Chains A and B, each alone.
Chain A
Amino acid sequence: MSDIVIKVENLGKKYLIRHQQRERYTALRDVLANKFKSFGKRLVSLQPHSSDLQPSREEFWALKDVSFEVKQGDRIGIIGRNGAGKTTLLKLLSRITEPTTGRIFIKGRVASLLEVGTGFHPELTGRENIFLNGAILGMSKAEIKRKFDEIVDFAEIEKFLDTPVKRYSSGMYVRLAFAVAAHLEPEILLVDEVLAVGDAQFQKKCLGKMEDVSTKEGRTVIFVSHNMGAITQLCSRSLLLNKGNIAKEGDTKKVIDYYLNEASSENYNRYTADTNSEKDIFITKAQALNCEGKLTSFFTHKDQIAIAITCKINRWIPKTLLGFFVKDQRGRKVFTTNVELDTAEHKAGEMFITAKIPSNILVPGQYMFTFAISVPHFIYHSAVDLVEDALTVTVIDGGSKFSMYEGLDYGCVFVDCEWNINN
C-alpha cells in the first residue's frame, strides 16, 4: 500500500460568470424574457441560435489542470493571491462542488473546517448544538457521546450547557465551536482561513491543535491561508496557486520566497517624476529595494527595507531637509525621519540618497510612504516638494512570535524589550 492519501489529476473547475449581475440568483422573469427575446430574434432574422444571444455570460476557469499528490501525515499549505483558486480547490476536495474536469482520489475520512461553527443553531442549547454540529462535521452519534465530556471540558462551558447558544458571549460560542471541531478525528483535515476569526487565544489554540493532529496522530492537514507566518510555522510543503494553476510546489520556504518575488516583480513599486520641473529642489525617483538591491515591494519583517531616493537640484538652498513619513494601512503615522542634505559633497545636479529601515521594526501590513523636501523658512521648514503616498510597501510575517495574531492590531512596530524577571 502506498502512503498517498490524496491524488489530484488534471483537476479543473469552470464557472459561468454573468456580467452586470445585480443579484446573485436568477429571476425567473429574466430567464423567460431572454428566452422570449431569443425566440423573437430567431423569428425575425431566421438565423440559427447563435451564442451572441447571451453576451453577458462568460466562462471562467477557477482551476485548470491542477495535479498534485499528498502523502499521509503531510501538512500542505496552499497559498496564492485572492482569486487564485485556493478556496475552489478546498471546495472540490471536500465535495461541496463537483469538478468540471479531472479527478481526485481520496483515501480516508475528510473533514473540512471551512468555517468554525457552521450549522450552529442559535435557538438550540450548547448540548444540542454539540450533537448537531458534530453530526454536520461527520461524527457519528456514538462518537459524539463518547467525546461529549471532553468537548465540554475543552470549551469550558459546563455551566451553560443547557442555555441556548444565542445567549452565549462570542468567546464562548467560538470556544464551543472549536472544541467540537477539534475533537473530530478525520484522516484528512481541510482548513480554510480559520485563523482569521476568533481571538488570539483561539487562533493559537487552533494552530497548536493542527500541529498536534498532524505530528502526533499522523493525520494529513491541508491548510489555506494568507498568513505566511502561520503557513511557515505549520506546513512543510506548499503549493502556490496562480490564476487556477499550480505555479510552484515544494518546500514551504522556497515557495513563499518565490511567491514574494514573483508578486513584487509583477507590481513593483516605484515613484518617478518629470525631471524637467522648475522647482529648486525636487524628488525625481523613489523606490524600495531589498538587501540585494533588487526592486521590490514585498518584505518580510526580518528584511531591511532600503528606500532609494533621487533628487534633482536646480538651485541649491542650504539646510535643505529631505524626509519621509510612513503610514500604516489604518492611516496611522508610524514614524517620520529626515536628513539634512548639507552633508552631501556636491550640491548640484542629481543627488542619490538611501535610507535603510532596520529589520524587525515594521509589523506585517501595508505601508504608504510620503516624501518631502523642505527648506528653511523663518524658524520652521516649509515643503518645496511633497510627494504623498508615493510608495507602497508590504511587510509580511516571516515567522515572528506574533504570527498567529496576524490581522489583529497589536501595534505598529516590533519592539525588542529587555525583559527582566525577578523572584
Chain B
Amino acid sequence: MSDLSQKELIIEAGRTEAQYWRDLYRYRELFYFLSWRDILVRYKQTVIGIAWAVIRPFLTMVVFTIVFGKLAKLPSEGAPYPILVFSAVLPWQFFANALSETSNSLIGNANLISKIYFPRLIIPASSVITSFVDFLISGIILVALIIWYQFVPGWRVVTLPFFVAIAFAASIGCGLWLAALNVKYRDFRYIIPFIVQFGLFISPVGFSSSIVPAKWRLLYSLNPMVGVIDGFRWAIIGGETLIYWPGFVLSFSLVMLLLVTGIRYFRKTEKTFADVI
C-alpha cells in the first residue's frame, strides 16, 4: 500500500469506477482478514465445531439415500446410491450456504460499511469463501464414500475443478444480486430461506436428472444448479452417466449471465450502500 501512498487520489462522482479494480487489489489483505474472521467465527462456541460442516451433508445424504434410493428405488446410474446423492449434496450445500451467507453479509457488516471505505465486493466474496471452506471439508465424506464402496472414478474426475468453478460463479452471481437487493429491500431476508428450501427439491440432489422426461429437460436446466450438479456427477461417477449438453450449456450461460449482471448490479448500487443501510 505504501507505494500508492504518495499518489494523488481524486474523489468525484463516478470516479470510483476507474479505480475499482485497482482498489480491490489494494484491499486484498482486508479480503483475506475478513474471510479469516468469518471462518474463525463460524464455529466458535460450538461443541463439535467444524464437524458440523461434515455432519449436515452426511445426514442429508443418508436421508436422501433411504428415501430416493431404498424406498422410491430410483436408478443410480451404476454407482452406489450414496455416492450419487453425495456428489450432488456437495455442490448444492455449497450453493445454499453461500447464498444465505452472502445475502446477509452486507447487513451483518453494516457498521463497517457505514464507517470505513473499501470495495464492498469484498464482503460477499469473503462469505462465499467461508462456504467454500465448508465445501472442502465436507468433501472428505466423498473421499470416504469412494474408499468405502471401493468405487474408482474415471479420468473425468480431473475436470471436477471446472465444475467447482461454475458452482463458485453461480454462488457469487446469485449472492451478489441478493446481497445488494437485501440492503435496500429487506424482503429478501424472507425470500432466501424459501429459495434454499425449495431449491433442494427442484434441483436433482436426491435423484439423477436423467429421470426427468426428455421434453422437460431443457426447461429443467433453467435452474443453474442443474448444470453444476450434472457436471459433478459426470465427473465423479463417470461410466454411463451422460451429460445433457444442451441443458448444460443453457445452465452454464445462465450462471455466467447471473455473474455478470450480479457484479454489475452490485457495482451500481454499492455507492449508495452507506446511505441506505
Residue on A nearest B117 in the bound complex, by CB: A95
B40 pairs with A92, CB closer than 8 A: no
Say yes or no: is A119 at the interface (Cβ < 8 Å to chain B).
yes
In the complex, what residues of A have CB within 8 A of residue B183's CB? 25
Contact B10 A105 (CB under 8 A): yes
Q: How far is the CA of A137 from the CA of B111 in the complex (A)?
A: 13
CB-defined A-B contacts under 8 Å, sample of 21:
A15-B275, A25-B183, A26-B184, A26-B185, A27-B186, A96-B114, A98-B15, A98-B16, A99-B11, A103-B12, A104-B11, A107-B7, A107-B9, A108-B5, A109-B2, A115-B111, A118-B111, A135-B30, A135-B32, A136-B30, A164-B44
User: CB-CB < 8 A to B33: which residues of A?
Assistant: 131-132, 135-136, 141
The complex places the Cα of A266 from the Cα of B83 at a distance, in Å, of: 78
Cross-chain contact of B112 among A107, A119, A140 (Cβ < 8 A):
A119
Asked whether any CB of chain B lies closer than 8 Å to the CB of A101, the reply is: yes
Is B184 in contact with A106, judged by CB distance below 8 angstroms? no
CA distance A29 to B184 in the complex (A): 12
Q: Is the CB of A121 within 8 A of B37?
A: yes
Cβ contacts under 8 Å, A96 to chain B: 113-117, 274
Report A's interface with B, CB cutoff 8 A: 15, 24-29, 31, 91-110, 112, 114-115, 118-119, 121, 123-124, 128, 131-132, 135-138, 140-141, 164, 187
Inter-chain contact A124/B6, CB cutoff 8 Å: no
Residue of A nearest to B109 (CB): A119
Q: Is the pair B29, A31 in contact by a Cβ cutoff of 8 Å?
A: no
Most-contacted residue by chain A among B8, B33, B34, B113 (CB, 10 A) = B33
Interface residues in B74-131 by Cβ distance below 8 A to A read: 111-118
Least CB distance, A408 to chain B, in whole angstroms: 24
A254 to B270, CA, bound (A): 40
A-B contact count (CB 8 A): 125
Contact digits for B146-180, partner A, Cβ 8 Å, 1 yes 0 no: 00000000000000000000000000000000000
List residues of chain B with CB within 8 A of the CB of A135.
Answer: 29-30, 32-34
CB distance from B172 to the nearest CB of A (A): 22
CB distance A124 to B40 under 8 Å?
yes
Q: How far is the CB of B145 from chain A (nearest CB, A)?
A: 33
* Closest beta carbon of chain A to B40's beta carbon, Å: 6
* B26 (CB) vs chain A CBs: closest residue: A138
**Contact indicator A112/B11 (Cβ below 8 Å):** no
Given that A96-B116, A136-B33, A140-B1 are contacting pairs, would A123 and B45 also be in contact in the complex, using a CB cutoff of 8 Å? yes
Q: How far is the CA of A137 from the CA of B277 in the complex (A)?
A: 20
With A97-B274, A118-B116, A121-B37 as contacts: A27 and B185 at CB distance below 8 Å = yes
Interchain CA distance A336-B248 in the complex, whole Å: 87
CB-CB contacts of B1-31 with A at 8 A, as 1s and 0s?
Answer: 1101111111111111000000000000110
Write the nearest CB–CB distance from A211 to chain B, whole angstroms: 23
Docked pose: A239 CA to B261 CA in angstroms: 43
Interface residues of B in 218-251 (CB under 8 A from A): none
Q: Within the complex, what minimum Cβ distance (angstroms) separates B45 from chain A?
A: 7
B111's nearest neighbour on chain A, judged by CB, is: A118
